[in-house]
Amino acid sequence: MTSEQPQPASGPDLSPSADPLLEDERGRVRRALSYGAKLLLRDKGGMIGLSLFMVVVFAAIFAPYIALHNPLQQDLTRSRQPPAWRDGGSWEYPLGTDSLGRDMFSRIVYGSRVSLTVGFLGVAIALSIGLVLGLVAGFAGGRVDNVIMGGANLFLAVPYLLIVVVVAAVVGRSLVNVVLIFGITDAPLFVRITRGEVLRIRNSGYVESAVAIGAGRARILFDHILPNLVGPLITVATFEMSAMIFYEAGLGFLGLSVPPTIPSWGNMLAAGRQYLASTPWVATYPGFAIIFTALGMNLFGDWLRDVLDPRLRRKGR
Amino acid sequence: MTGCVTCLTRACDGKEGKRLVSILEVSDLAVEFNTIEGVVHAVNGVSFSLDSRETLGIVGESGSGKSVSMMSLLRLIPEPPGRIRSGSAWFDSSKGRVDLLSLSKTKRAAVRGRDIGFVFQDPMSSLNPLMTVGEQIAESMRLHLELGDREARTRTVELLDRVGIPAAAERYGNYPHQFSGGMRQRVMIAIAIACGPKLLIADEPTTALDVTVQAQILDLVKSLRDELGLAVIWISHDLGVVAGLADRVIVMYGGLVAECASVDELYEQPRHPYTEGLLEALPRVDQDRGEELRSIEGTPPDLYTAPGACPFAPRCSYTFDRCRREVPPRYVVNNGHDTACFYDLAERRPRSE
Amino acid sequence: MQRYLLSRAVQSVLLLLGVIVLVFFLVRLTGDPARLMAPREASAQDIAELRALMGYDRPLPVQFADFFSGAIRGDFGNSVHYRAPAMALVVTRLPATVELALSALLFAVLVGVPLGVIGGSNPGSIWDSLARGVGLIGQTVPNFWIALIFILVFSVNLGWLPSFGRGHWNSIVLPAVSLGLFPLGQIVRLMRSAVLEIRGEDYIRTAYSKGINDRRIYVAHVFRNAAIPLVSMLGVQFGYLLGGSIYIETIFAWPGLGRMIAESVAARDFPLVQAVAVFTSLVVVAMNLLTDVAYALIDPRIRYDK
C-alpha cells in the first residue's frame, strides 16, 4: 500500500496566492464571478450560447406577439404550403404549413413554451429532490445513505428512456405528467452528484479544520458545502435541461408527451413524419428549433463548467 | 551598469581548489507565461554557471522562478502557455557543447535523460500509474544506450538495488501505486541516473516526503553524486537542506537572482537583505532559547508586471528611492560572491556607483 | 481483483432484483392497469373480466409474489397482443438490437477515438476544431431527427440506401449512424479532454525528461491512460444505445427490442413491457459488469488492490 503523503500542487509553481484550501469561500465565489465575466467576454462559445438561449426564452415569453397566426388555427385550403422561398410558398407562412394548414412558424414559436416549461420545471424538481436526498444521504451516512443510494442507482441502471416511456404510457399524456416524469426520473443523477460533493467536501482539510474549531453542522452546510455545490449543480442542470428538451421531443415523437392539440416540437415531428417525402419541412424545421436550443444550452453549459469548476480551472491550460 | 553577463557568471564561479570548467553556462534566461489574467513574468533574466561535479543549490520561495528556470533549460515547461523570451544555456553534452535553448526537438530529446537527469517534486504523480516501475526505468536506457530488453532489465534491477529498493528483482514488475512515496522518489532517482548523465537536476525532491525519508533521499543523492561524479542542481525552499549538500547557492526572488555565493560565505556573510531575512527565519542549534525566529513581512511579488524595480523592495527594510526605480544589477562582493542589491549590507549604506 | 469483481457481481444481482420490483410498481402507478389495457369502448364488465384474467384483482402482495417468482425464472406471462410467452418474444428480438447497438458503437468508436485523440493532441489546430464541432453536433442533434434527415437525403432524394427493414446488408448503415451520433459526440469530447488533461500530467513531464520522443509518449503513456475513461464510458453508452433504439428502430422499422418497446407501450401490452424492461436492464447491468472487468484489466491500481 502507499503511505499517506501530503500531495502538493504540481506543475510550475506560479501562483503567488496562498494555499487555495485556506481561501475564504466567499472570496472564491467573488473571484469566480469576476473571472467568469472576463471569460464570457473573451470566450465566444459562452457568449454565443447565452445569446441563442436568450432568443429561445424571448420567443417563449413573447410568443403571442411573435407568432404570425394562431398556432391552432386550421385551414385545409392552405394545407401543406411550402416555405416562402420555395415555389408556391408565400411570406404569409414563412416556414410553410402542415397537413392541416396550420402555420409552421407560429407553431414552432409556441412550441418553445412546452420545451422550456418541461426543461425548467423538470430540472427544478429534479434538482430540489436530488439536493435534499443527496444532502441527507451524504450527512446521515449508514443505512439511510444505503437506502437512498440504492434507489438512485436502481433508476440509473435502467435505460433512462425506457423508464420515461413506460411511465409516460402508464400515466397518460399531459404537460403536468411530463414535467413530473422528468423531474422525478432525473432526480437520481442530482442525488449522486450532491452526495459525492458532500462526501468530498466533508473529508477535505478545510472542513475538518472547521469542525476542529467547533463549527456545527449547519455552519458546515451553509458556509462550505452549499457554496461548493453551486458550481457542479448549475453546470449539470444546464446540460440536463437540454437533455430534457431532447427527451420531451422524443416522447412527443413517440406520441407519449403532451396532448397532440398542444403545439410542441416533438408532436410536430411526429405529425410530419408520415409526410416526410412530400412535405419534408413539416418534420425537419421543428428539429432545427431543437438543435438551436440545445446548441445554446450546451455552449453555455461548457462555458459554465469551465468557469465554475475550480478543479478544472486550476489544471490551467 | 554592470556590464556583460559573462563577467558576472565568472564572478560567481566555483570554489577555490576546484577545476574551473563549467559544464553549464546559463545567461539572461527569461521565461513568461501567457495566462488569461495576463502575462506572468516568471523568470526575468537569470545567469549562472555550473562546474563539473559541482553541487549548486537554488533557493527561493514559491513563485521565485527557481523551478521554472531549471525546467525551461530542458524545455519541460508547457509551451504554450509558457514561452522562453530570451537567454542561452550552453551545456557540455555527450555530443559536444550545445545551447540547450536553441536545440532542435530531436537533439533536445537526445540530451534529456541521457546527459541531464531530472527528479521532480511530487513522486506520487510523477510516475505513470499504468506502467511497471521497471519499464519506466528501462525505457530510457533502451532508447539512449540502445540496450536490448534483457540488458536493460538487468541494468534496471541493478539500479533499483543501487537506489535502495529491497528485493529489486521482484519489484521490477510492480506498479507505482504499490510503492510508498519515498520508494517512488528512489525510482525517480533511478530513472534520472539510468543513462549515466553528467548533470542531475532535482526539483524539491524531498518536499513531499516525511522528514525521516527526506534524510534518506538526501544521503542517497549525496552518495550517488560522489560515486558517479555528478554535477547536481538542487532546487529547494529550505536553506537548511541546501546547507548540508551544496557547494554554492543561488538565492532567487521574483524571477531574478538575488544573491550567489559559496555555501559557507552565504551563511556567514549574506549580502542581500532577502538572504539575511531567510537566514534569520531559520532555526539554529546555537541559538539562544529565548530568541524568536523572525519572518519576512509582506507578500511575494506580483509577477504580472515586468520588473522595473527591485522585486524585494516592498518587503525590504533597507529600501531607498533607487530600489523602486531600477532593477539592481549583480554587484560583485568578492571572488565567487555577488548580490543584486543597491544597499551595501557590509558597509550599512547605499552603494555609490 | 476477484473480491472487487465478486462484490460488483453481487451488486449487479441486487440491482436486477430491484429492477424487477421497480417494473412491477411502474405498471401499477395509476392503480388499475386493466383500465389502461382495455380498449376505450370497453364496458365496466369487460374491464372487470380483463382484470380477473390478468390476475390484477388479487391482493397486491399476492400479485407481487407471483410476479416476482415468475420474473426471476424469466416468466412474465403471455403477451396480450401476441398471445405468446413474453420472454420468448423478447429473446427472438434480441439479435437485431444487439447488431444495431454494436454497429452504432463501432461507428462511434472508430470515428470518435481517432478524432478526439488527434484533436486533444493538437489543441487549437483545425483537427481540434473539427473534434469540438463533432462533439457539439453529437450533443445537440436529436437522433430521431437526424434519422429523418438521413432518410430524406440518402433514401428519398439520392436513393442510395434503404430506409427501412433489416433485409439487405446496407440496411444497417442509416440506423447505425443515426444511433451512433450521440455516442460519437460523447466519445470525441471525452477523448479530447482526456488527452488534453493527460498531456499536462506530471508523469508525462517525467517521460519527456527521459528523452522519449513524441510518438512514444503518446503511444506508451498518453493513450493507455486515456483508455481508462473510454472503457467506463462505453459501458454507459451501451445503456443509452438500447434506449435510443426505441426511436431508431421505430423510424427504420428495425425488428428489434426498441421497436418492441414502442409497440408494446402503445398497445399497453404490460406483460411484454415488463419483460422487455427487465431484460433490457439485464443486458445493461451485464455490460456494466463487463466494463468493470475490462477496467480492472487495464488499470493495475484495481487489479492489484488486495
Residue C111 burial by Cβ neighbours in a 10 Å radius (0-12, 13-18, 19+): middle
Residues of C in contact with A315 (CB under 8 A): 197, 200
In Å, what is the CA distance from A82 to each residue of A97, A101, A278, B290, C157? 7, 11, 10, 94, 17
Predicted TM-score of the model (pTM): 0.81
A18 in any annotated domain? no
Among residues 150-169 of chain B, which lie with CB inside 8 Å of chain C?
A: none
Q: Is the pLDDT of residue A25 over 60?
A: no
* Mutation target among C1, C128, C197, C209 for the B interface, most CBs of B within 10 A: C209
Q: What is the mean pLDDT of chain C?
A: 86
State the count of interchain CB pairs (< 8 A) between B and C.
82
Contact A162 C262 (CB under 8 A): no
Contact B178 C304 (CB under 8 A): yes
> Mind listing the pLDDT tens digit for each residue in C139-149?
889 988 998 89
Average pLDDT over residues C45-62: 82
Contact B62 A15 (CB under 8 A): yes
Distance from CA of A44 to the nearest CA of B (A): 14
Among residues 71-130 of chain C, which lie with CB inside 8 Å of chain A?
A: 123
Q: For residue C185, name the pLDDT band (cuts at 50, 70, 90).
A: very high
Nearest chain C alpha carbon to A247 = C142
Percent of chain A scored above 90 by pLDDT? Answer: 15
Distance from CA of C141 to the nearest CA of A (A): 5
* Mutation target among C24, C139, C278 for the A interface, most CBs of A within 10 A: C139
> Both ends of chain C: CA-CA distance in Å?
7
Cα–Cα nearest to B333, from B247, B264, B270, B254:
B270
| Domain extent at residue A310 | 52-314
Average pLDDT over residues C174-203: 90
Q: For residue A310, name the pLDDT band (cuts at 50, 70, 90).
A: low
The whole-angstrom separation of Cα A264 and Cα A245 is 11
Average pLDDT over residues A276-282: 80
**Where do you find CATH 1.10.3720.10 in chain C?**
90-303
Distance from CA of B353 to the nearest CA of C (A): 44
Average pLDDT over residues A14-19: 38
Q: For residue B293, name the pLDDT band (cuts at 50, 70, 90).
A: low
- The closest CB to that of B140, out of C201, C212, C224, belongs to C212
Residues of A in contact with C156 (CB under 8 A): 276-277
Could you check whether the bond before residue A64 is cis, i.e. omega within 30 degrees of 0? no
DSSP A234-260: HHHHHHHHHHHHHHHHHHHHTT-SS-T
- The closest CB to that of B63, out of A3, A10, A16, belongs to A16
List of residues 6+ apart from B11 with CB closer than 8 A: B330, B332, B335, B336, B337, B338
The whole-angstrom separation of Cα B114 and Cα C22 is 63
Residues of A in contact with B209 (CB under 8 A): 5
Among residues 58-97 of chain B, which lie with CB inside 8 Å of chain C?
A: 74, 76, 78
Q: Identify the sign of the CA torsion B235, B241, B245, B248.
A: positive
- pLDDT score of A36: 67
Total tally of structural domains belonging to chain A: 1
- pLDDT score of C176: 92
Q: For residue A27, name the pLDDT band (cuts at 50, 70, 90).
A: low
Distance from CA of C110 to the nearest CA of A (A): 24
Q: For residue B45, name the pLDDT band (cuts at 50, 70, 90).
A: confident
Average pLDDT over residues A89-110: 81
State the count of interchain CB pairs (< 8 A) between A and C.
134
Q: Is the pLDDT of residue C179 over 90?
A: yes
Residues of A in contact with B122 (CB under 8 A): 7-8, 10
C-alpha cell at A38: 472576463
Percent of chain B scored above 90 by pLDDT? Answer: 2
Contact C277 A162 (CB under 8 A): yes
- pLDDT score of A309: 63
> How crowded is the C-beta side of C301, counted as CA atoms within 13 Å?
8
Residues of A in contact with C276 (CB under 8 A): 162
Percent of chain A scored above 70 by pLDDT? Answer: 85
- pLDDT score of C181: 92
List of residues 6+ apart from C96 with CB closer than 8 A: C166, C249, C254, C255, C256, C257
C-alpha cell at C14: 441486487
Q: Which residue has the cell 422524443?
A: A250
Contact C136 A167 (CB under 8 A): no
Residue A68 in contact with residue A103, Cβ under 8 Å?
yes
Q: For domain C90-303, which CATH number applies: 3.10.450.50, 1.10.600.10, 1.10.3720.10, 3.40.50.300?
A: 1.10.3720.10
- Other C-beta atoms lying within 10 Å of the C-beta of residue C185: 24
Residues of A in contact with C197 (CB under 8 A): 315
Q: Is the pLDDT of residue C106 over 90?
A: yes
Domain B1-115+199-282+299-353 of CATH type 3.90.79.10? no
Q: Is the pLDDT of residue A129 over 90?
A: yes
Q: For residue B291, name the pLDDT band (cuts at 50, 70, 90).
A: low
- The closest CB to that of A246, out of C29, C33, C142, belongs to C142
- pLDDT score of B286: 64
Contact C277 A166 (CB under 8 A): yes
Contact C280 A150 (CB under 8 A): no
Most confident of B235-244, B290-299, C253-262: C253-262
Contact A277 C196 (CB under 8 A): no
> Mind listing the pLDDT tens digit for each residue in A167-217?
888 888 888 888 998 999 899 999 998 998 888 887 777 777 777 777 777
* Mutation target among A7, A56, A170, A284 for the C interface, most CBs of C within 10 A: A170
- pLDDT score of C116: 92
Residue A118 in contact with residue A179, Cβ under 8 Å?
yes
Distance from CA of B156 to the nearest CA of C (A): 14
Q: For residue A128, name the pLDDT band (cuts at 50, 70, 90).
A: very high
Percent of chain C scored above 90 by pLDDT? Answer: 16
In Å, what is the CA distance from A75 to each residue of A69, A72, A100, A262, A263? 11, 10, 6, 17, 16
Nearest chain B alpha carbon to C300 = B130
Q: Is the pLDDT of residue A239 over 50?
A: yes
What CATH number corresponds to the domain at position A297? Answer: 1.10.3720.10
List of residues 6+ apart from B157 with CB closer than 8 A: B134, B168, B169, B172
For residue B344, give the 3-state DSSP assignment.
strand
Q: For residue A313, name the pLDDT band (cuts at 50, 70, 90).
A: very low
- The closest CB to that of A12, out of B68, B207, B301, belongs to B68
State how beta strands B55-59 and B248-253 pair: parallel
